[in-house]
A and B are shown apart, each in its own frame.
Chain A
Amino acid sequence: MSPCQGYRDKIHDLIDDDLDGMETRHVRDHLRDCPDCASYFNQLARLRSILKGFGQTSTSPNFQVVLRERLRREMAGKKDPWVVYVGHPRRWVAVAGVAVVLVTSAFLVLNNRQVLMPGAAERSAGMHAPAFQSAAADEHIEYVSSESRGRIRVARSENKAAARPAKDTLAVQASPEEPQYTITPVSF
């Protein structure tokens, strides 16, 4: 340990003006005899005076305005009974978002059910769906399941049978590829 080590703490006390008269004299005598301690003391004293000058910072000009605004917001958030009752608006945005998703999903599910099982709604209401009605219905078959397609095909064949012209029909419908001929009945 350096012989001056004991004086180093006293030097800090001297800078803080924290020594009594006798101790002050004792330390000052040492400083006169010891250049290292004298240099240490001078540097610390200089440092202290510089640091004192560091206390000149001020807050920004709008500090109090910003503070008041923050206080107003904090207090409003706490005391407004409406906010306390309904919660924060952000919560309601989330709830509304979930509701929109649920309603949209429900709509899509119901819509798909009608596409997959045409007439399901009517059947459930106690009505019979027309088995086969038109070319539009025929097109519709393309999208249905195999089970329902089979059922509808049966219906179509029945329909065809019903639509077959009688033997003595005077007008013959040719196939679409062939030209159409009209046979006019002749009386003798």
Chain B
Amino acid sequence: MLDKKNEGKKGITGQYAVADEELIYRFQNGDVYAFDQLVYRYKDPLINFVYNFLGDRIDAEDVVQETFLRVFKKKHMYRNIAKFSTWIYTIAGNLAKTELRRRRRRRIMSISQIGYDDRDYDIPDDMLTPDKKVNSDINEKSIREEIQNLPAKFREVVVLRDIQEFSYEEISDILKIPIGTVKSRVNRGRSRLQKRLKYLLDK
């Protein structure tokens, strides 16, 4: 049996001394300390994924909390035929999509509640020139906004591939869609971002 002190530490190869699958197995057998280790390993990668997908820090933290609660409650549903990371990302992804749907419903409701007289109109500001928008070489805020403007199906694959650096095969496992579909969505998502952010990327 491995030393508990080294469970949370990465080795020279960047891998943890104890695999995630071993930790979840221990947790399934009643070792709550193993669950703590999984939280420690996955809290930051998951917040990155969900935050970049939802674009809201507080909502993202809530979704990640809910993800760990699900893992805790449904631990026996994990079968050692898939990687633990795939399983937990699938849970987080599904919860994030649910949150997105909830937001859409809220938005529709709030629009329908606006009366004729108190309707507000947002006029898009087309007068902003690229140089006004850019504070430094790369305006992170603009890029984050453009990521949020991508359709959800492109956004999730771009985040998983280019921010989280998952392989196409892993993304296919997480989202339960064919690899070909993943590749095509990544390409289309990137191309859309490239078109919208040309003024920043040319610098």
Asked if B33 is an interface residue, CB under 8 A from chain A, the answer is: no
**Do residues A12 and B47 form an inter-chain contact, with CB atoms below 8 A?**
no
Interface residues of B in 93-147 (CB under 8 A from A): 138, 140, 143-144
Q: Could you mark each residue 82-118 of chain A with 1 if its beta carbon is under 8 Å from any beta carbon of chain B, else 0?
A: 0000000000000000000000000000000000000
Please tell me the size bucket of the interface on B.
Answer: 35 or more
Asked if A67 is an interface residue, CB under 8 A from chain B, the answer is: yes
**Do residues A51 and B162 form an inter-chain contact, with CB atoms below 8 A?**
yes
A9 to B190 alpha-carbon distance, docked (Å): 11
Closest A residue, CB atoms, query B191: A8
**Do residues B158 and A58 form an inter-chain contact, with CB atoms below 8 A?**
no
Q: Could you mark each residue 44-63 of chain A with 1 if its beta carbon is under 8 Å from any beta carbon of chain B, else 0?
A: 10111011101111111001
A9-B43 in contact given A47-B201, A52-B162, A54-B52 (Cβ < 8 Å): no
**Do residues B47 and A43 form an inter-chain contact, with CB atoms below 8 A?**
no
Contact with A71, one of B45, B72, B193, B201 (Cβ below 8 angstroms): B72
A67-B68 in contact given A47-B193, A51-B162, A52-B163 (Cβ < 8 Å): yes
Q: Could you mark each residue 56-79 of chain B with 1 if its beta carbon is under 8 Å from any beta carbon of chain A, else 0?
A: 010001001100110011000000
A48 to B164 alpha-carbon distance, docked (Å): 11
Asked if B22 is an interface residue, CB under 8 A from chain A, the answer is: no
B58 vs chain A, min Cβ distance (A): 9
**Do residues A71 and B163 form an inter-chain contact, with CB atoms below 8 A?**
no
**Do residues B163 and A63 form an inter-chain contact, with CB atoms below 8 A?**
no
What count of chain A residues pass the 8 Å CB interface test? 29
**Do residues B47 and A58 form an inter-chain contact, with CB atoms below 8 A?**
yes
A64: which B residues are within 8 A, CB to CB?
36, 39-40, 43
B-side binding surface: helix, strand, loop or mixed? Answer: helix
Q: How many A-B residue pairs have CB under 8 A?
A: 83
A63: which B residues are within 8 A, CB to CB?
43, 61, 64-65
Closest B residue, CB atoms, query A40: B194
B158: which A residues are within 8 A, CB to CB?
51
Asked if A66 is an interface residue, CB under 8 A from chain B, the answer is: yes
**Do residues B162 and A59 form an inter-chain contact, with CB atoms below 8 A?**
no
Asked if B149 is an interface residue, CB under 8 A from chain A, the answer is: no
Asked if A74 is an interface residue, CB under 8 A from chain B, the answer is: yes
**Do residues A44 and B190 form an inter-chain contact, with CB atoms below 8 A?**
yes
A64 to B148 alpha-carbon distance, docked (Å): 28
**Do residues B162 and A57 form an inter-chain contact, with CB atoms below 8 A?**
no
Asked if A160 is an interface residue, CB under 8 A from chain B, the answer is: no
**Do residues A43 and B163 form an inter-chain contact, with CB atoms below 8 A?**
no
A47 to B194 alpha-carbon distance, docked (Å): 7
B165: which A residues are within 8 A, CB to CB?
52, 55
B142 vs chain A, min Cβ distance (A): 11
Q: Could you mark each residue 173-203 of chain B with 1 if its beta carbon is under 8 Å from any beta carbon of chain A, else 0?
A: 0000000000100110011011001100110
Known: A57-B57, A63-B64. 12 other contacts (CB 8 A): A8-B187, A16-B168, A43-B198, A47-B194, A50-B138, A54-B140, A54-B143, A57-B44, A59-B43, A59-B47, A59-B64, A74-B69
A-B contact pairs, 8 of them (CB 8 A): A42-B201, A47-B193, A50-B143, A51-B143, A55-B165, A57-B51, A63-B61, A70-B69
